[in-house]
Structure 1
Amino acid sequence: MLDPVSASRLQFALTTIVHIIFPVMSMGLAPFLIYFTWKDIRSDAPVYEQLRRFWTKIFAVSFVVGTVTGIVLEFEFGTNFAAFSTTAGELFGGPLATEGMMAFMLEATFLGVFVFGREKASDALYMVSAVAVGLGTWLSAVWILVANSWMQTPRGYELARESGHLVVLLVDPIAAYANPRFPWMFVHMQNAAVLSVALFMAGVAAYHIWRGGIGADDGGQSAEFWRKTLKIAIVVLLVTAPLQVIHGDAYGRHVYETQPQKFAAMEAVWETDSYVPEYIFAIPTSLDDLTDPRAKELFGIGIPGGASWLASGGDPQAQITGLNEFETESPPVAIVFWSFRLMVAAGFWFVLLAFWAGYRWLTGELYDDDLLHKAFVVSSLLGIFAVEVGWIVTEVGRQPWVIQGVLKTSEGVSAGLSGLEATITLVGFVVVYTGLLALYTYVVQRIIRNGPPAIDGAEPAQSTPSEGVTVDD
């Protein structure tokens, strides 16, 4: 049986790791759907109607499951982290309430029109519904990230005692809600969501092209759909992949300036040092190094002075404060360090993949490069994986604080929660969320296997021939 602190942290981690998949899909799909809707209205090409209808199905499923899992997360603030809610409720509750009343209601109100109203609504109203759904999706991210970024860099508050409890009083809403971390988190998260969906779209399209033998001269309705999907995804990847790396570099510098202990954990720097290498790829030299990595004892591909350069903005000799210099306990360094390596490696791979595909497009070999298609298929879920490990760096790297410098995670757990209760609910959540994720995966797979919808009464061409069926059949 686990203690209530460990069980509560694991439960919240589990529910967050599963939940984040669905907002990534809906936020990432939102700009694509707005574009598909606009092209469907303005263009006579039936492929844009197919694109809109096909990807709207996946968006709708992601929205529904994301809503269910998101509500559970908010309940956990009361069931497992009541002390945190008591302390930060005045500041933390506002953004969450605004997210529900503003963003969620906007999205939910127009979603019915967008999903079911194409034949009943005018072009103008339908376009408005597409924009409103997309805007609502992104506004949800605004308020969630306002709350989370404040936990990373709290501003605009005062501490007081009420009925014997430590509470945070909001004294400057602008300073609190426009805290220095918010713009960094918002740009990085939203770009990551669009990048992740572009990778997913490219992977699905590449699979059908690779397995179905869809070449450049294939005139089938389904063939045109997957070719168009792949090209649109590549265009988006060529923009978002480099931007994520460039922005991530600047974001890392901001973390060093505002959360130096987290930055030291990201680079596994225990003793204050300069000219610290940035390991893009690292291998532990012993099993102990896997669970207790230290920058000077790892073997890998690194940039000499890279971490110092990242921290300072251009000086490879800059000094990085080691973890031993901080008074509070260190974050779980191994989790933060290796998660950061995985995120960085994925980011560089996305850039390489995007330019590889762009080059093949320019040479006219985009539909003939099976190795590229396989790379897209393998990478189709790597964007979501990168988001997951990125959030692990963000949240685990802040430990032991739930509110940086204000309240520790162990102090935020519900006082009346027993280890038995927390463990039982943790096990229950593992079972339920595993089943929910499996069901979501099954539904999305069914949508993908069915392929694009038929237009004008025509049956959709089969991208992948059924086993045992010949042309003569």
Structure 2
Amino acid sequence: MDAGVVDLSRLQFALTALYHFLFVPLTLGLSFMLVIMESIYVMTGREIWRQVTRFWGKIFGINFVLGVATGLTMEFQFGTNWSYFSHYAGDIFGAPLAIEGLMAFFLEATFVGLMFFGWDRLSKLGHLFVTFLVALGTNLSALWILIANGWMQNPVGATFNPDTMRMEVSDFGAVLFNPVAQAKFVHTVSAGYVAASVVVLGVSAFYLLKGRWIEFARRSMVVAAAFGLASSLSVVVLGDESGYALTDNQKMKLAAIEAAWHTQESPAGLTLLGMPDTVARTTRYSVEVPWVLGLIATRSVDKEVTGMSELVLKAQERIASGVKAYAAVEVLKTDPSNVAARAQFEAHKRDLGYALLLKRQLADPRAATPQQIEAAAWDTVPSVPLMFWSFRAMAVIGFLMIALFATAFVVASRRKHLTTRWFLRLCVIAIPLPWVAIELGWVVAEMGRQPWAIEGVLPTFLAASSLTRSALWTTIIGFTALYGTLAVIEIRLILAAIKHGPVEDQEPTPEPGRIVALPLAA
């Protein structure tokens, strides 16, 4: 396989995935925020809450359409750009995607029209139930997608069949309840809730700064502050759980995130800052906090966190073992009844994927030299500087979100919406931050898995389709132009909706006995 074709295939998928995930977080979070807002409307009967729900429902609808359009493109790429991956693991990987389409996507598609056009045709409770089903479908969609992605990170419940030369399901329950998938799901949806909360908070702050739609903005800010505070706290807690899952399932990714070149004495310290040096294989100018990494990664003070150098030595052992499995498979291709080859394969089949790493250097792994095995083992180390800094930038933004929503909660609780203009400006400025953190999170998750398309099973360079560079450049340029146009359209539509304000064209009538605060001068 041409290395340039593989790199361009990865680039194309990365661009479409990162672009698609500009829309997913807002869809995930706004869907359940709509349920909260409409529930208040149903319980209180106050028209202002209907207005709040309908306005944010409009923003949800604009974003929902773009999310669906970009998501479909990604799924087709498994057949166009990653055909060998689809052939090799389609029995396992395809099942969650099919269930996502049948269960979640159809649920969304069925009820989203009723949610937008059923306000005057359904009862209050009926429309609330429809909104809840849309939110449920949206989040179930994320669940099944992340079950598929989680299996790529931790391929449980499947085995390689030398008779069909493919991976096959052995325990679908293990695929569904994969600990990596479950940790990724709760962490990802919580991040989406934070992103949506920041949008609602920022737009509400914008209205308050301009002195427009004050009653609407105050109520929206209250919901965003409470929902965002709970979500931002859960992101940190669930992120810690994701880190713990890496200890058992993706040790190399964890070591790269922490730039841990060598195993430390337990409990390991957490490196806050430093300069990873990939040539000297050390971290210069490191600032460490004792014990913290050991507590996070192992939940103990007596277990060690394995370093990259030691993990590379283990990879060498697995490559040597995998070569024996590969040799057995070659025999079984011509003689499926060979008992000795079958026994050898069963003894070493867990490491077959590691032998395939050698195909980057030579056609037949059985002819590999010790030097080639060592080089292939070092290929299992992802880009340490990228992992190290991406994770820290993401973590800093996560803690900033906690501080932002904690302050917003205090401001909303004390009804200081109109007197804390510095904070309102901060809320507007903060709108892009969750997306930066989310995109960095996907970089950490996917780049940290390299060089594997399926962790320990199938190297990325073997998973791509046999395409030409010109074909890939053509589609990359085409997708970039198309998605760029769609992005401009969405931003213009959302900005137009924000400029117009809530559905009604006038400020709502103040409730009897309530004094509406006058806006401060802009």
- Given that 1:339 and 1:389 are in contact with CA atoms closer than 8 Å, whether structure 2 keeps it comes out as yes
Matches within 5 A, 1:151-166: 151-161=152-162, 166=165
Q: How many residues align?
A: 448
CA distance in 2, matches of 1:440, 1:30: 18
Match of 2:341 in 1: none
Q: Is 2:461 aligned against 1:410? A: yes
CA distance in 2, matches of 1:226, 1:376: 13
Q: Which moved more, 1:246-255 or 1:132-141?
A: 246-255
Match of 1:75 in 2: 76
Match of 2:191 in 1: 192
The 3 A distance-change label for structure 1 pair 360 and 48 is closer
Q: Is 2:488 aligned against 1:438? A: yes
1:245 to 227, 232, 236: 236
2:298 to 287, 308, 312: 312
Match of 2:175 in 1: 176
- Given that 2:37 and 2:223 are in contact with CA atoms closer than 8 Å, whether structure 1 keeps it comes out as no
Match of 1:419 in 2: 469
Q: Is 2:436 aligned against 1:450? A: no
1:179 Cα deviation from its structure 2 partner: 1.3
CA distance in 1, matches of 2:437, 2:280: 21
Higher relative contact order (CA 8 A, sep 6+): 1
Matches within 5 A, 1:70-109: 70-109=71-110
- Given that 2:225 and 2:412 are in contact with CA atoms closer than 8 Å, whether structure 1 keeps it comes out as no
1:243 Cα deviation from its structure 2 partner: 1.8
**Aligned residue type for 1:174:** G
**Aligned residue type for 1:297:** R
Match of 1:137 in 2: 138
Report SS of the residue matched to 1:402: strand
Match of 1:17 in 2: 18
Matches within 5 A, 1:281-300: 282=273, 284=275, 289=276, 296-298=283-285
- Given that 1:255 and 1:263 are in contact with CA atoms closer than 8 Å, whether structure 2 keeps it comes out as yes
Structure 2 unaligned residues grouped into runs of 5+: 316-376, 511-515
Please give the per-residue CA displacement for 1:190-209, whole angstroms capped at 9, x wherever unaligned.
Answer: 11111111111111111221
Matches within 5 A, 1:54-73: 54-73=55-74
CA distance in 1, matches of 2:404, 2:506: 36
Seq. identity, %: 33
Please give the per-residue CA displacement for 1:208-236, whole angstroms capped at 9, x wherever unaligned.
Answer: 212x1x4xxxxx7x110011111111111
1:434 Cα deviation from its structure 2 partner: 1.8
Structure 1 unaligned residues grouped into runs of 5+: 215-219, 468-473
Report SS of the residue matched to 1:320: coil
1:38 Cα deviation from its structure 2 partner: 2.3
Report SS of the residue matched to 1:319: coil
The 3 A distance-change label for structure 1 pair 350 and 279 is farther
CA distance in 2, matches of 1:439, 1:158: 46
2:270 to 258, 270, 278: 278
CA RMSD of aligned residues (A): 2.7
CA distance in 2, matches of 1:100, 1:364: 44
1:455 Cα deviation from its structure 2 partner: 7.0
CA distance in 2, matches of 1:73, 1:398: 19
1:64 Cα deviation from its structure 2 partner: 0.9
Match of 2:204 in 1: 205
Match of 2:220 in 1: 229
- Given that 1:292 and 1:334 are in contact with CA atoms closer than 8 Å, whether structure 2 keeps it comes out as no
2:394 to 330, 343, 346: 343
**Aligned residue type for 2:426:** A
CA distance in 2, matches of 1:252, 1:207: 36
1:283 Cα deviation from its structure 2 partner: 5.9
CA distance in 1, matches of 2:234, 2:280: 29
CA distance in 2, matches of 1:295, 1:224: 56
TM-score by length of 1: 0.88
- Given that 2:218 and 2:417 are in contact with CA atoms closer than 8 Å, whether structure 1 keeps it comes out as no
Report SS of the residue matched to 1:453: coil
- Given that 2:3 and 2:461 are in contact with CA atoms closer than 8 Å, whether structure 1 keeps it comes out as no
Please give the per-residue CA displacement for 1:126-146, whole angstroms capped at 9, x wherever unaligned.
Answer: 222111111111110111111
Match of 1:383 in 2: 434
Match of 1:470 in 2: none
1:402 Cα deviation from its structure 2 partner: 1.1
1:370 to 421, 436, 448: 421
CA distance in 2, matches of 1:144, 1:366: 39
- Given that 1:273 and 1:319 are in contact with CA atoms closer than 8 Å, whether structure 2 keeps it comes out as yes
CA distance in 1, matches of 2:51, 2:413: 26
The 3 A distance-change label for structure 1 pair 290 and 57 is farther
Report SS of the residue matched to 2:168: strand
Structure of greater Rg: 2
Match of 2:255 in 1: 264
The 3 A distance-change label for structure 1 pair 279 and 352 is farther
The 3 A distance-change label for structure 1 pair 251 and 238 is same
- Given that 1:402 and 1:412 are in contact with CA atoms closer than 8 Å, whether structure 2 keeps it comes out as yes
CA distance in 1, matches of 2:217, 2:130: 26
The 3 A distance-change label for structure 1 pair 294 and 459 is farther
**Aligned residue type for 2:441:** G
TM-score by length of 2: 0.80
The 3 A distance-change label for structure 1 pair 238 and 466 is closer
